[in-house]
Structure 1
Amino acid sequence: MQCPQCVYSNPEGVKFCLNCGENFNKNNAQVDDKSFFYEFAHYVDMIPKFERTIEPKFQNIFSRVFRNHSELEAERLFIVGTALTTPKISEVKETWPKPWLFARVFVIALLAFAGFYIGVSYFRNVNFIPGLIIVGSFAVPFTTLIFFWEMNAPQNIPIYRVIYVVLIGGILSMLVALMFFDILKNNINPITIGIAEELAKAVTVITFVRYRKYKYILNGLLIGAAIGAGFAAFETAGYALRALLSGDGRNLYNTILWRGIFAPGGHVAWAALTGAAFCRVHGDHPFKINMLFRLKFLRVFMLVVVIHALWNTPIQGMFPYGHIFLMGASWIAVFLFIRAGLKEIGERKVKFQE
């Protein structure tokens, strides 16, 4: 059934377009709410056949960002991951998804931050300061996280679980990092900071991935990104509060601005890489400690530690060009893992059919 509005090919029997929400029965009785939901849930795992590609080209991956999207499309995304809406592995497409919701989330966060900024800077109302710090700290990490969520092709992790991991995983990883710092005491430097924080996030990622049995590489990317987003946002909020208490309002805005700019290539990407590497060695097998010493995991973890250490090293002229380079290196690794994750889905589909 081809939609007259967006020309999307819908499955036979649906009463509305799964892409734009166009009602096919405008002249008939209204659709029953219950049947509407179950029909909606039944076809939620149907992936549009148009604009899909296996080529990892930026113009293809982000081609839907600037297109018009209905609220129904967003609702369709937000109900994935439940027992009713998680597709079977045989129904999952191993082609590159086309995320777009993350851009809308960023615009909403930007508008909210602008409102708090006006309240603080122009109206001098201190009641807006907590909102300014919270929204400013979470805006970019959470936007990046939504991107990873949209790239999770298996669609087996609901958004409420992702938010849970952000909050609990973020604070848990920070507490574990503080334990490592307490052990190090006077031996804290850029290298030990990188080791301690990345090891803390790795322990937290492994805990969440192991007990929830998220076995796909793309699942590891998403869970890792959720923990990294929580870590990054809470850390930024702390630095912003310090800047505020120092009495320098400009330093507060600079802290939020620069940490927001570099957030996608920082803790979010690093923890995502660690999670993907662990899922790659874990798979369907029972967890064993020797998995953490396999080369496939160690080389990714060491790469993350080295990037983190260089990120914190006070090299002359490093900022911001060095950080841009490190951020680019991190995302090259992320896209390589996305490609590996999609390839893994194809291999599992073959095994499933056999």
Structure 2
Amino acid sequence: MKCRSCEHENPDGTNFCMNCGHEFFQRENFHHEKFSIFYWFAEKADGLPREKRSVDPKLRNIFSRVFRKHTDTEAERLFIVGTALTTPKIEEVTDTWPKPWLFSRVFIIAIIAYIGLYIGVSIFNNINFVPGLIVVGAFAVPFTTLIFFWEMNAPQNIAIYKIVYVVFIGGIIALLVALIFYDILGRNNINPITIGITEELAKVIAVIFFVRNIKYRYVLNGLLIGAAIGAGFAAFETAGYALRSLLSGSFHSLYFTILFRSIFAPGGHVAWAALTGAAICIVQGENHFNLNMLLRPKFIGIFFLVVAMHALWDSPLHGIYPIGQILLMSGSWFIVFLLIRFGLKEIANKKWELSQHPMEPKPS
């Protein structure tokens, strides 16, 4: 099936062009989706009145493909990006808003797996299902959120195997660094502010470890790498809290811990680490990393904003839970969407620069 937009040949039955994302079949009754709460929130984040919007995809229709049918071929096409052979040149990258959908399928698969494990524990009383229940319950939402960031990485220059590597290694690095900081501080100095500084700084160190060279130099890369580290941090932490709940309470306490930490996972460690990861890539640009970059206002502003949100999240103030967490999660994602927009503009500017100053071919 040839795309009428870019003339790329696609397998039969594909709903969207695998090269440019052009939709082959338009649904007549799609207009009702614009009233979705997702569209309302996204339109606020995009910050443009309707009359000034272009025909290109915008944030307001970012979730338009979630509830549409997709083929296995489309999913396979997504999973092979990021290798040396499948990473597009910057001139070929689309700088309009991506339309992610795979993250919703990953979430459904995780929920089905969790339900199966839950049945094994609660109905058949088989304790062998407990480790799987904790692991799947801890990773389901953070990993789903991470897949969303991976789909939003327009340069498509990071392979999924690399992301899995960053989740595990980056998450462990951040946790161990945080424990070192806690030992240095001592128990008497632990409070919401020091917790925010300690854990966010630990994740910053982990992000620097992966983006210290110029391979991952785009803002969208920083969002993705940060989200991967935050997902690992959040999942390992949730698994630990879930085990503690089981050992000190009951299975009801275990389920409660997994449920509520999962609900707020997207607006916590995942989003915060994504923001600081983007900040690092903003100040680093196309240069190798050096510590002086952390003193630049663009990084300091985002870092202390994240620390403040983390501190408020852990605040013992009465009445802040769960309303405070909902507000903080909304605020975190508002800034995430703004940085995604900034990252797309970065790509558009880079493409324009290359078009104005094309690289001359090397003499043979």
Q: Calculate the TM-score normalised by the size of structure 2.
A: 0.86
Q: Which residue does 1:55 correspond to in 2?
A: 58
Aligned partners of 1:20 and 1:72 also within 8 Å: no
Q: Which amino acid aligns with 2:22?
A: K
Q: Which residue does 2:190 correspond to in 1?
A: 188
Deviation at 1:322, TM superposition (A): 0.5
Q: Which residue does 1:78 correspond to in 2?
A: 79
Structure 1 counterpart of 2:9, from 2, 6, 14: 14
Aligned partners of 1:10 and 1:18 also within 8 Å: no
Closer/same/farther in 2, CA of residues 181 and 15 from structure 1, 3 Å limit:
closer
Closer/same/farther in 2, CA of residues 352 and 205 from structure 1, 3 Å limit:
same
Aligned partners of 2:207 and 2:277 also within 8 Å: yes
Deviation at 1:17, TM superposition (A): 4.1
SS in 2 for 1:335: helix
Q: Which runs of 5+ in 1 are unaligned?
A: 3-7, 22-42
Q: Please list the CA deviations of residues 61-91 of structure 1 after superposition, one character each: whole Å capped at 9, or x if unmatched.
A: 0000000000000000000001111000000
Q: Please list the CA deviations of residues 178-198 of structure 1 after superposition, one character each: whole Å capped at 9, or x if unmatched.
A: 000001002011100000000
Q: How far, CA to CA, are the matches of 2:289 and 2:214 in structure 1? A: 12
Q: Please list the CA deviations of residues 86-109 of structure 1 after superposition, one character each: whole Å capped at 9, or x if unmatched.
A: 000000011000000000000000
Aligned partners of 2:59 and 2:97 also within 8 Å: yes
Q: How far, CA to CA, are the matches of 1:231 and 1:189 in structure 2? A: 19
Q: What RMSD, in angstroms, separates the aligned Cα atoms of the two structures? A: 1.7
Q: Which residue does 1:224 correspond to in 2?
A: 226
Deviation at 1:19, TM superposition (A): 3.1
Closer/same/farther in 2, CA of residues 253 and 13 from structure 1, 3 Å limit:
closer
Q: How far, CA to CA, are the matches of 1:307 and 1:136 in structure 2? A: 25
Q: How far, CA to CA, are the matches of 2:22 and 2:286 in structure 1? A: 30
Aligned partners of 2:214 and 2:287 also within 8 Å: no
Deviation at 1:54, TM superposition (A): 4.4
Deviation at 1:317, TM superposition (A): 1.0
Structure 2 counterpart of 1:349, from 329, 343, 351: 351
Q: Which residue does 1:201 correspond to in 2?
A: 203
SS in 2 for 1:16: coil
Identity of aligned residues (%): 65
Q: How far, CA to CA, are the matches of 1:121 and 1:200 in structure 2? A: 37
Matched, 1:272 2:274: yes
Q: How far, CA to CA, are the matches of 2:8 and 2:340 in structure 1? A: 34
Q: How far, CA to CA, are the matches of 2:322 and 2:240 in structure 1? A: 22
1:265-304 counterparts in 2 under 5 A? 265-304=267-306
Deviation at 1:130, TM superposition (A): 0.4
Q: How far, CA to CA, are the matches of 1:147 and 1:292 in structure 2? A: 27
SS in 2 for 1:213: coil
Q: How far, CA to CA, are the matches of 2:354 and 2:13 in structure 1? A: 27
Q: Calculate the TM-score normalised by the size of structure 1.
A: 0.88
Q: Which amino acid aligns with 2:313?
A: W
1:53-202 counterparts in 2 under 5 A? 53-57=56-60, 60-185=61-186, 186-202=188-204
Q: How far, CA to CA, are the matches of 1:313 and 1:89 in structure 2? A: 44
Q: Which amino acid aligns with 2:219?
A: I
Q: Which amino acid aligns with 1:130?
A: P
Structure 1 counterpart of 2:339, from 330, 333, 337: 337
Deviation at 1:247, TM superposition (A): 3.3
Q: How far, CA to CA, are the matches of 2:145 and 2:7 in structure 1? A: 36
Q: Which amino acid aligns with 1:122?
A: I
Aligned partners of 1:215 and 1:279 also within 8 Å: yes
Q: Which amino acid aligns with 1:55?
A: K
Aligned partners of 2:5 and 2:22 also within 8 Å: no
Q: Which residue does 2:247 correspond to in 1?
A: 245
Deviation at 1:48, TM superposition (A): 1.5
SS in 2 for 1:211: coil
Q: Which amino acid aligns with 2:142?
A: P
Q: Which amino acid aligns with 2:229?
A: I
Q: Which amino acid aligns with 2:137?
A: G
Closer/same/farther in 2, CA of residues 350 and 227 from structure 1, 3 Å limit:
same
Q: How far, CA to CA, are the matches of 2:354 and 2:342 in structure 1? A: 18
Q: Which amino acid aligns with 2:68?
A: R
Q: How far, CA to CA, are the matches of 2:296 and 2:12 in structure 1? A: 47
Q: Please list the CA deviations of residues 23-82 of structure 1 after superposition, one character each: whole Å capped at 9, or x if unmatched.
A: xxxxxxxxxxxxxxxxxxxx95x122349834321xx00000000000000000000001
Deviation at 1:250, TM superposition (A): 1.0
Q: How far, CA to CA, are the matches of 1:212 and 1:163 in structure 2? A: 20
Q: How far, CA to CA, are the matches of 2:182 and 2:352 in structure 1? A: 46
Q: How far, CA to CA, are the matches of 1:15 and 1:184 in structure 2? A: 58
Aligned partners of 1:10 and 1:17 also within 8 Å: no
Aligned partners of 2:13 and 2:71 also within 8 Å: no
Q: Which runs of 5+ in 2 are unaligned?
A: 27-54, 358-364
Q: How far, CA to CA, are the matches of 2:5 and 2:301 in structure 1? A: 45
